[in-house]
């Protein structure tokens, strides 16, 4: 399984970014038995789960700080998961990582994920 993130960049406060995670060797559709999450790493604050989706059940989790501002979506080919983030704030600045594992429930701990992308930088300027 390989994951490739894209969509990071620099945006002003209040702006929108669409982060994408392309998977190979994994199916992000309802029969794929995969769980996909976005984590972010902030220097000095560690790595936390931003959002997670159980692609089989469609169940989602969003961290309180992004709830209402972040939304998962999938493409029809079931190879890409998108996370759109709106109303971005300077505190959203971080390196964002896509992570995946096999299973069918929500996971929030980075140690529970087996596959990781290389990360994409998101910078929100005030």
What is the tens place of the pLDDT at every residue in 63-92? Answer: 999 999 999 998 878 899 999 999 999 999
What is the tens place of the pLDDT at every residue in 20-58? Answer: 999 999 999 888 899 999 999 998 999 999 999 999 999
Cβ count near 42 (within 10 Å): 13
Strand order across the beta sheet in which 2-6 lies: 2-6, 17-24, 80-85, 70-74
The helix (run of H) or strand (run of E) holding residue 83 is: strand 80-85
Give the distance between the most distant pair of CA atoms in the chain. 42
Query: What pLDDT shows up at residue 78?
Result: 83
């Amino acid at each position: 399984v390989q994951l490739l993130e894209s969509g990071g960049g620099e945006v002003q406060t209040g702006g929108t970014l669409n982060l994408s995670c392309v998977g190979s060797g994994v199916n992000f559709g309802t029969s794929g038995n995969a769980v996909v999450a976005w984590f972010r790493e902030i220097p000095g604050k560690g790595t936390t789960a931003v959002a997670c989706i159980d692609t089989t059940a469609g169940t989602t989790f969003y961290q309180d700080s992004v709830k209402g501002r972040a939304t998962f979506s999938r493409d029809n080919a079931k190879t890409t998961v998108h996370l759109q983030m709106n109303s971005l704030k300077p505190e959203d600045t971080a390196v964002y990582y896509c992570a995946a594992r096999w299973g069918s429930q929500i996971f929030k701990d980075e140690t529970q994920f087996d596959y990781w992308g290389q990360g994409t930088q998101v910078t929100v300027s005030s």
